[in-house]
Structure 1
Amino acid sequence: MWKIKPPIVFPQEAKYRPVLESLVPTDPMSLFNLKRGSPEEEFPYLRGNHTFMGRFLTLKMYTRQYHRATQSGVIFDDIIRPGLEEPDDLTGPKSVGCLAGDAQSYILFCDFFDRIIEAYHDHKMSKSQESDFNHDNLKGGDDFDGDYAISCEVSVARCVDDFCFPTHCSRGERRKLLTLAKKALEQLSEEFPGKLYSMEKLTEDQEEMGLIVDAPSSSQFRTGVARDWPDSRAVWVSKDCSLGIWINMEEHIKLVTMRSDANIAEAFKCICINTLKLEALYKKLRHPFIWKQHLGWVVSSPADVGTGLRASVRVRLPHLFTHNRLQDVLKRLRLRMENTDELDVYNVSNVPTIGFNEVSLTQLVVDGVKLLIVMEKSLENGQSIDELVPMQK
């Protein structure tokens, strides 16, 4: 019987421990003859750091990761740099504060990433991830009240096998990724016409068409996501403007569908059909999208692993936004609400991306938005919403 609290055992850490021990190399930094101290001397300053990374990182954990490096040279300090550059504030939403440098990072540093993913997504890593792109399984999403629901967006992020992620990839890798994308999109365009636009050659005429690309943020430059901008960055736009595919931005590939109405069912259908087509084309090119059974679709941010899917609806909710139970309602629905540039209009989207398949996540948003609109109508009529507060999803 334990006289003290037993140590926490994370299933992925136990599963991969033999692999981890075999992959511990000589400190790669020593190859460059750099003066790197002990883990105690190198441990980062985390006071006032409100990211999930800052919440979980301890000296013991840092010491365990300190002499590990992936085969492409990613070390633990590369992983935690985003959270050190952007420590978040006490009152705002909390970011994960870390980015993987390659797919192997999730295995080699699994005892760190598992904690981050479990806490951020409220998800047990012992569960296997499932995928479902059958858009016919979605119920509703085409019948929102147009007086409240204004527009919608669905996006899916993917990373390509055998390439480092944006924070760590070389110029050569990034250019090869663009070449791969061109080959795949040429074939996609045969049945779904579209055109590829290079960020380097984006003209004023193209910007007038709506292809306005904001410059990367300073944190993206510091973490390496926007390194060498705009080299090898591009966007493919379908002829009917229903789909955009971004290449070498935050992830290797990101498919985005935006609609000027709130028919998220149609937006989800467009994403499902074209993600499956693109997946097949990349497999044909012998560079499939990265999938791990316990993580699902693997991308650089732990905030997006699992499905890589974000579904959002712009909704007019002036009364509900100021209600004292709003945060409790959103937590139970597993949704987030963010300000937009329009008064009293807010962007409602899913918080988790893992633990649900693609249909279930979109259904979460559909059902949640419907309930929020019902609550807004009740408040407009001076009624209480206490009986409408849902159970935890």
Structure 2
Amino acid sequence: MSQFHLKRGSPDEEFPDLCRNSTWMGRILTPAMYRRQFHRCTHSGVIFDDVIRPGLEEPGDRSGPVSVGCVAGDAQSYILFCDFFDRVIEAHHEHKITSQTPESDFNYDNLKGGGDLDKLYAVRCEASVVRGVDDFCFPTHCSRGERRHLLSLARRALQRLNDDELPGQLFLLEELNPEQKRELNLNPPSSSQLRIGVARDWPDSRAVWVSKDGSLVVWVNMEDHLRLVSTRDDANIAEAFKCICINLQKLEDFYRELRHPFIWKQQLGWVTSSPADVGTGLRIRVHLRLQHLPQHKRLQDILKRLRIRMDKTEYPALYHVSNMATFGVSEVGLTQLVVDGVKLLIAMEKRLKDGRDIDELVPTQK
């Protein structure tokens, strides 16, 4: 691919205004670091300004969770701009990058609990994982041809999954009717997604595969090359996690046979476009019905100690609880963090409902 020769000034002239930027990018980037990255360019044409654009488009809010504020345009970005990305990853995940290979554990039998949450409080759960496919740029930077090739690979791999005891159907987004889009909670791309390029040529070559039994959904060419999601209305995290583990490993084998394995970096684990997802790419989310705990003065301290986050939903007294990081802990370990955290939050909610104190339940700092 030919390189774009932009008419840019010196690094000092081009350095962005980060005074009101609350992202990790804005907190970490210095003029000296910017100068070191300024003239670098990956083989596919990613420059450092492409990397930091998300944080410039959406500088964040000091009162909310800190976003990473950056994306990788391709896998080489994590190597070429490593002195920047490594610092962002360590800050966001609160885990030091070392020469050791990140721990991985897909043995769902090692998970303790997760199928026994109190259904009066835990109303729904979701396990999801993202993967990048080797030899292709990430969605923020890939061409139409790459995206169409990725869809072709996904068709073949998902057909293998379809033939291997999990029948399903692939739908192209451009062919979905309004009712199908509502059922899939599919919204048009945001203005931010359009500006940073992830929604370029929408909906060309975007697709969703849905298993016949509804246990698994696979999104193709959305914010990442692949995103697997298992949702359960009974809040059985153990079963949702098991579904992800089994089918992700099958797809990994299929893609390897197609000579396009998932992208793995020795010190980071699995990598995709966002440094917020490196390591495992795994998100475990539980929908909790809470009335008393969200108003407790120690809530934020409790969540930090549990290494989980809690976000409001559009429904009163319903909250999303999920893992904060994806790096530094194995897949089973991350799921266990959420399971144990949710159980403790439910126990606290019950105590507060009865007018009792929760101080003795607050965990020691991890």
Give the TM-score band, short-chain normalised: over 0.9
The verdict on how the C-alpha distance between 1:71 and 1:369 changes in structure 2, with shifts beyond 3 A counting, is same
Partner of 1:13: none
The verdict on how the C-alpha distance between 1:43 and 1:205 changes in structure 2, with shifts beyond 3 A counting, is closer
SS at match of 2:87: helix
1:285 aligns with 2:250: no
Deviations 1:250-294 (A, max 9, x none): 100000011111101000000000000000000010000001121
SS at match of 1:377: helix
Inter-partner Cα distance in structure 2 for 1:382 and 1:157: 42
1:273 aligns with 2:281: no
Partner of 1:193: 167
Inter-partner Cα distance in structure 1 for 2:6 and 2:284: 45
Inter-partner Cα distance in structure 1 for 2:200 and 2:280: 26
Runs of 4 or more consecutive aligned structure 1 residues displaced over 3 Å after TM superposition: 30-34, 204-208
Q: Is 156-165 or 84-93 further displaced after alignment?
A: 84-93
Partner of 2:85: 113
Q: CA RMSD of the aligned region, Å?
A: 1.2
One-letter code aligned to 2:328:
G
**TM-score (normalizing by structure 1):** 0.90
Unaligned segments of structure 1, at least 5 residues: 1-29
The 5-angstrom pairing of residues 152-231 of structure 1 reads 152-191=125-164, 192-204=166-178, 206-207=180-181, 210-231=183-204
Partner of 1:75: 47
The verdict on how the C-alpha distance between 1:160 and 1:33 changes in structure 2, with shifts beyond 3 A counting, is closer
1:122 aligns with 2:82: no
SS at match of 2:347: helix
The 5-angstrom pairing of residues 289-368 of structure 1 reads 289-368=262-341
SS at match of 2:229: strand
One-letter code aligned to 1:81:
R
SS at match of 1:376: helix
One-letter code aligned to 1:318:
Q
2:22–2:62 contact (8 Å) kept in structure 1 = yes
The verdict on how the C-alpha distance between 1:104 and 1:34 changes in structure 2, with shifts beyond 3 A counting, is closer
2:4–2:45 contact (8 Å) kept in structure 1 = no
The 5-angstrom pairing of residues 13-162 of structure 1 reads 32-126=4-98, 127-162=100-135
2:255–2:261 contact (8 Å) kept in structure 1 = yes
SS at match of 1:37: coil
Inter-partner Cα distance in structure 2 for 1:98 and 1:31: 21
The verdict on how the C-alpha distance between 1:272 and 1:37 changes in structure 2, with shifts beyond 3 A counting, is same
**TM-score (normalizing by structure 2):** 0.97
Q: Tell me the number of residue pairs that the alignment of Structure 1 and Structure 2 aligns.
A: 363
Inter-partner Cα distance in structure 1 for 2:101 and 2:81: 19
SS at match of 1:87: coil
2:54–2:69 contact (8 Å) kept in structure 1 = yes
Inter-partner Cα distance in structure 2 for 1:101 and 1:362: 29
Deviations 1:47-94 (A, max 9, x none): 100000000000000000011111111110000000000001121111
Deviations 1:82-137 (A, max 9, x none): 00000011211110000000011001101001110101000010143121111101
Percentage of pairs with the same residue: 68
SS at match of 2:277: coil
Inter-partner Cα distance in structure 1 for 2:244 and 2:102: 19
Inter-partner Cα distance in structure 1 for 2:15 and 2:348: 48
2:305–2:365 contact (8 Å) kept in structure 1 = yes
Inter-partner Cα distance in structure 1 for 2:5 and 2:33: 25
Q: Deviation at 1:34?
A: 3.4
Unaligned segments of structure 2, at least 5 residues: none
2:3–2:45 contact (8 Å) kept in structure 1 = no
